Structure 1
Amino acid sequence: MIIRSAVARRLFSNPSSCPSSYSWCTTTSTRSSLSSSLVDQKRSSSSSSSAVGVGLPAYMRAAVFWEPNKPLTIEEFHIPRPKSGEILIKTKACGVCHSDLHVLKGELPFASPCVVGHEITGEIVEHGPATDKKTTERLPIGSHVVGAFIMPCGSCFFCSKGHDDLCEDFFAYNRAKGTLYDGETRLFLRSSGKPVYMYSMGGLAEYCVVPANALTILPKSLPYTESAILGCAVFTAYGAMAHAAEIRPGDSVAVVGIGGVGSSCLQIARAFGASDIIAVDVQDEKLQKAKLFGATHAINAAKEDAVEKIMELTGGKGVDVAVEALGKPQTFLQCVQSVRDGGKAVFIGLTAAGAVGEVDINRLVRRKIKIIGSYGARARQDLPKIVRLAESGIFDLSSAVSRRYKFEESDTAFHDLNQGSIVGRAVVEIM
């Protein structure tokens, strides 16, 4: 443990308004932009395959979400085209995440129809026109890459300060409208030419367009399938532990909810030198696996009071940091109640829109409890560090990925996730 923590410190020192529903286009300007793109796309599709890109097919397949609680369907699309500062990726693998599931169930409003999937690895096959030389040299054609789900524009107020996780364009365009940062999608159905929106890069597809700032090189020693989770499950956990919690050697940590992100939090807490690492869940199978990820204690919250047990394990003081990775009002309260005076309660689990968590205001004020939200890490600074975590073996990718699905089984993968039958993280293989 001491050796592992020392290595981690050397590698990672200084971890330093949306409408409730959507139609095809949310504004007049968006309709105009999409119409222009549609004309361009039709012109492109009427040309030969060579006009699309050297060696590229004219069409691809992607999994489409049409409306809540309806199955994903595999549809054919025109090959998406990158614009300046963007890169076309031949997708190799895409992780199966609860954030996508919230969209599929209608719990998080998002433009539809859309292609979900935001946790990808792949191969660079094309640069957008007029992309700067530094980018093309950093990310040459043929490179293996991993993409972060938060895709920073690189130039807004927050990005200019290094806070990629608060990128204004990402939230204003991608999360609010399902487009990239010119207000246009890159996805058009082959059959009708109609636009389809993008959740992040729309990664559950054979090809996807990703802003270059969201990509980093994936060493060829790391496999495509297992490495897909680096772009969300590990990326989210790293942001929570390095920036929100600011884990230090010797800290005590509790993680509530041991899914793909929660189990990644355990591994990163171990890498950063945490002492007591307490895993909380309601499934014994997940808790057993948590021990492989670094948990020193496991609590089944369905069988015993999680807060009381955490207090018992910490001599009545509570943990330095409690992380909620599930997204439920009940676990929100458990997380806040589990921290010591002056401690940090960090929240990374998304929930249904409008859900509210309760907190004891007097304790919050008198005992200096810190409540911190964390959505992800910082792509340009952190994603290369996360890759090094995996490359050095500090983060165990092979144990973290528990299920693999074929591309045609994408809907089954999300059904299984919704049923709670996936322990750890599942990945759809698109190769």
Structure 2
Amino acid sequence: MRAVVWEGPDVPMQVEEIPDPRPGPGEVLVRVAATGVCHTDLHVMKGEVAFPGPGVLGHEISGHVEALGEGVDGFAVGDRVVGAFIMPCGTCSQCRDGRDDMCETFFAENRLRGNLFDGTSRLTRADGSRLSMYSMAGLAELAVVPVTALAALPESLPLEESAVLGCAAFTAYGALARAQHDIRGRAVAVVAVGGVGSAIVQLARHLGASPVIAVDVDDDKLAAVRDLGADVVVNSRTTDAREAVLEATGGAGAELVLEVLGRPETVELGFSLLREGGQLVVVGIAAGAATAAIPITPMVRRGMTITGSFGARTRRDLPEVVRLAAEGAFDVRRTVTRRFALDEAPQAYDLLDAGRIQGRAVVVMDRPNP
């Protein structure tokens, strides 16, 4: 198969022919239709998030089941599926408690070592040398995915665009699930409205939040997210964002703020938009050991809270994300704004790094199925 191989930070990615992987017990081989282009992969490529190279990145996919590993039930060859970036082992203490998003095995083996649950990768180069897997290593024509990270995709949803359900929509759903209260009728602000941020806007609107306020520095992104359901859009580069949010909320501030970029300045901005007793959910992954300065006394005196959210709880939430998309709560067709061939994947991430992709882009496998 062909795969986009990442050697390490600051080394251009290249498309290579590598051996087809095989699924092990509890795993599914997926013929990939499309893979989402996400900032988290970009952090890895730039060395801002530690990961062992060389390897294959790409962590949200859609496709068809190609083969089943031993002991896999619930799927058949040919089924349409989507895969989530958090691949829970299902047996560690966190998974037993229903916290798939905190799976100990996934973080220890995949995120730190580039392996699947048995401590090995399914990928090698043509010379037999090992390649790390970032999640299921979706920037390839075939991907091995633990069955715990898959959900069936109904025919009513488009195959390629639905790749973004496994991270953009999945992460957005998980972030909103962290809200301390029902968000119906409550003011929600989203700071940074790229792929995940625009997904949060759509889902918050569907869940009855009002007003939904989008904050960014890109007028094109703000215009796009207004069409997706934002009631108020604020360019924080040209407008005082706090004053704009106060005006939109009758002087109170937002009850729930979701920060989706992972930069100190956007986390600090997000906290400043809160009303008394409000909650900030931090979703964005930061570069390296970045920290944000939060005013302690106002947080304590006015009962504000800060919560981290890495994603959703895969086995329970990924099917729900698919269901919500099928009923129109998240429009994958409008969310995906660019398509790239596998050979163009490096260009896609360059454009993402330059802030030139609105919503979400996908890499589409451009070789016909045999």
Normalised by the length of structure 1, the TM-score is 0.84
For 2:275, the aligned partner's letter is R
For 2:325, the aligned partner's letter is A
Corresponding residue of 1:168: 104
Q: 2:221 aligns with which of 286, 290, 293?
A: 286
Residue 394 of structure 1 deviates from its aligned partner by 2.2
Residue 220 of structure 1 deviates from its aligned partner by 1.8
- Secondary structure of the 1:176 match is helix
- Secondary structure of the 1:75 match is strand
Corresponding residue of 1:74: 15
Are 1:255 and 1:324, in contact at CA under 8 Å, matched by a contact in 2? yes
Q: 1:140 aligns with which of 58, 73, 76?
A: 76
Q: 1:154 aligns with which of 62, 70, 90?
A: 90
Corresponding residue of 1:354: 289
Are 1:403 and 1:426, in contact at CA under 8 Å, matched by a contact in 2? yes
Corresponding residue of 2:116: 180
Distance change (3 Å), C-alpha of 1:77 and 1:246: farther
For 2:285, the aligned partner's letter is L
- How far apart, in 2, do the equivalents of 1:300 and 1:395 lie? 24
Query: Which of 1 and 2 has greater Rg?
Result: 1
Which consecutive unaligned segments of at least 5 residues does structure 2 have? none
Are 2:168 and 2:199, in contact at CA under 8 Å, matched by a contact in 1? yes
Matches within 5 A, 1:230-249: 230-244=165-179, 246-249=181-184
Corresponding residue of 1:339: 274
Corresponding residue of 2:243: 308
- Secondary structure of the 2:280 match is strand
- Secondary structure of the 2:286 match is coil
Residue 246 of structure 1 deviates from its aligned partner by 4.9
Provide Cα deviations, 1:168-204, integer angstroms capped at 9, x if missing partner: 11111100111011110000111x1000000000000
Q: 2:324 aligns with which of 361, 372, 389?
A: 389
Corresponding residue of 2:53: 112
Q: 1:101 aligns with which of 42, 65, 70?
A: 42
Are 2:178 and 2:307, in contact at CA under 8 Å, matched by a contact in 1? no
Provide Cα deviations, 1:219-241, integer angstroms capped at 9, x if missing partner: 12211111000000000000001
Supply the RMSD in Å over aligned alpha carbons: 1.0
Residue 390 of structure 1 deviates from its aligned partner by 1.3
- Secondary structure of the 1:224 match is coil
Corresponding residue of 1:321: 256
Residue 245 of structure 1 deviates from its aligned partner by 5.4
- Secondary structure of the 1:342 match is strand
Distance change (3 Å), C-alpha of 1:226 and 1:246: farther
- Secondary structure of the 2:275 match is strand
- Secondary structure of the 1:63 match is strand
- Secondary structure of the 2:50 match is coil
- How far apart, in 2, do the equivalents of 1:408 and 1:247 lie? 44
Provide Cα deviations, 1:261-309, integer angstroms capped at 9, x if missing partner: 0000000101110010000000110111111111000000110111121
Residue 312 of structure 1 deviates from its aligned partner by 2.1
Normalised by the length of structure 2, the TM-score is 0.97
Residue 345 of structure 1 deviates from its aligned partner by 0.2
Corresponding residue of 1:402: 337
Corresponding residue of 1:86: 27
Residue 71 of structure 1 deviates from its aligned partner by 1.4
Distance change (3 Å), C-alpha of 1:232 and 1:170: same
Alignment partner of 1:194 is 2:129: yes
Structure with more helix by fraction: 1
Residue 247 of structure 1 deviates from its aligned partner by 4.3
Are 1:245 and 1:346, in contact at CA under 8 Å, matched by a contact in 2? no
